[in-house]
Amino acid sequence: MTSWTAFAVITGAVLLVLLVLSHLTQSAFDEIDLEAGSDDSATDSTDEAPAADTADDAVDSRSDPKSDSEAVVDPASSPASTAPGDGAATAETDRDLEAETAEPAPRDRRDGVDPDSLTTGMMLANVAASQGLFALALLGAIVYTGVPADALGIEFSRAYLETGLVVGTAVGVVLYVANELGAALATRLGFDHDEQLRELLAPDSARGWAVLLGGVLPLIAVFEELLFRAALIGALSVGFGISPWLLAVASSLAFALGHGMQGDVGVVVTGLLGFVLAAVFIVTESFLVVVIAHYLINAFEFVVHEGIDLEWARTLES
C-alpha cells in the first residue's frame, strides 16, 4: 500500500533543503559582489585623495606671503644647510609615500567563496554531487513509500519511449526558441538577467563539454523534473486528489525560487518556463517528455551562448 503522506513529507523536505541551499548560495554571491563594489569605490577615493591634498597645499602656498619669501631667502631650504636629522625624516616620508601608493592586499575570503577562485571542474562536481544526492533521496522515497510509476508519468513500453523522444525534442526546441526570444526582448527593454552561474559552469575543453552535456545536464534535468513535475504534480495529484493545475502553479513558483541566481528577470522567465513544462507534463502524462525538453533547453543555452558565443539580443538588434 502506498504511503502518500510519508512521500509528501519527504518530498517537501527535499524541496525545502533545495530552496534554502539556493538562497544561501545566492546570498553568498551577492555579498561578494557588494564587497567588490565597495572595495572599488574605496580604491577610487584613495587614488583621488593625494591630488586633492596637493591642490589644497598649492592654494595655501599662494595665499601665504611668508611661504613665498621663505622659498627665496630661508637658509633651511638650501641643501648645503640640511641638519643631520633631516635624512631620517626624508626616509620616513619616502616610506609613507610607498605605503600610500602600494596596491591593497587581497581581501580575506573566509566569509565567502570568491567566484574567480572556482574552477569549472569544481563547479561541475559540486552540481553533480548535490543534484545526485537529491535525486537519490527522491528515488529512495519513491521505493520506500511504494509510489507507483504511472503516478510519476513513467511507463515501460516502446511506444512510451518513442513518444517521449519525438515529443520531448519538439517541445524542447520550441521552448528554447521562445525562451531566447523572451530574454532578448527583456534585454532590449532594459532588463537583464544574471548568467553568472552558467558562465561558471561553462567548460573550456572538449572533455569538460562531454562531462557537462553527457553527465551534469542530464542529471539536472532528471532530478528537477522528478521533483517539480513528477512528484509535486503527478504523485500528489494522484495520492491526494488535488487538481494538477493548482499543483502546477505551486510547483512553478518553487521552481522559479530555486533559480534565484539568475536575477529577478531570470526568476520570472524560469517560473513561466516551469509552468509550461508542468502543462506539458499534465497533458502528455509523460515524465520522459519533460526530461528531454528540459535537457535540450539547457544544452542549447550552453552550446549557443558559451560554446559558439552567440547572443540573440545582439543578433536581433543588428
- Cell 580604491 sits on residue: 43
Q: What is the pLDDT of residue 277?
A: 97
Residues 65, 16 within the same domain: no
**Residue 44 — pLDDT band, cuts 50, 70, 90?**
low
pLDDT band at 290 (very low <50, low <70, confident <90, very high): very high
- Look at residue 113 and tell me if it is in a domain: no
Question: Is there a single domain that holds both residue 148 and residue 246?
Answer: yes
Backbone angles phi, psi at 118, to 5 degrees: -90, 125
Asked whether residue 10 is domain-assigned, the answer is yes
Query: Do the domain assignments include residue 32?
Result: no
Residues 266, 177 share a domain: yes
Do residue 53 and residue 72 come from a single domain?
yes
pLDDT digits (tens, 9 = 90+) for 143-194: 999 999 999 999 999 999 999 999 999 999 999 999 888 877 777 777 766 6
User: Tell me, what DSSP letter sits at residue 102?
Assistant: S
What the block records as the C-alpha cell of 315 is: 543578433
CA distance 8 to 138: 10
pLDDT at 52 over 90: no
- Asked if residues 297 and 176 have their Cβ atoms less than 8 Å apart, the reply is yes
End-to-end CA distance of the chain: 61
| Average of per-residue pLDDT across 126-150 | 94
Q: What are phi and psi of 94, to 5 degrees?
A: -60, -40
Question: Are 244 and 211 part of one and the same domain?
Answer: yes
Q: Kindly state the average pLDDT of the residues 86-113.
A: 50
pLDDT category of residue 55 using cuts at 50, 70 and 90 = very low
Helix (H) / strand (E) element for 133: namely helix 120-145
Both 214 and 123 in a single domain?
Answer: yes
Say if residue 36 is exposed, middle or buried (CB neighbours under 10 Å; 0-12, 13-18, 19+): middle
- For the chain, what is the radius of gyration of the CA atoms? 30
Tell me, yes or no, whether 178 and 301 share the same domain. Answer: yes
Please tell me the predicted confidence (pLDDT) of residue 174: 96
Looking at residue 151, its amino acid is A
Q: Residue 148 belongs to what domain range?
A: 4-27+119-317
Q: Residues 290, 152: one domain? A: yes
* 73 and 167 both lie in a single domain: no
Instruction: Give the mean model confidence (pLDDT) for residues 254-262.
Output: 82
Domain count, the chain: 2
Residues in the chain: 318
**Quick one: average pLDDT of 266-288?**
93
Question: What helix, strand, coil percent values describe the chain, rounded to 5?
Answer: 80, 0, 20
Give the dihedral of Cα atoms 197, 19, 296, 218; nearest 10 deg: 90
The DSSP secondary-structure symbol of 118 reads: -
- In three-state secondary structure terms, 299 is helix
Percent of the chain with pLDDT over 90: 47
Q: Which of 63-77, 239-253, 265-279 has the highest mean pLDDT?
A: 239-253
Measured distance CA(227)–CA(290) in Å, rounded? 12
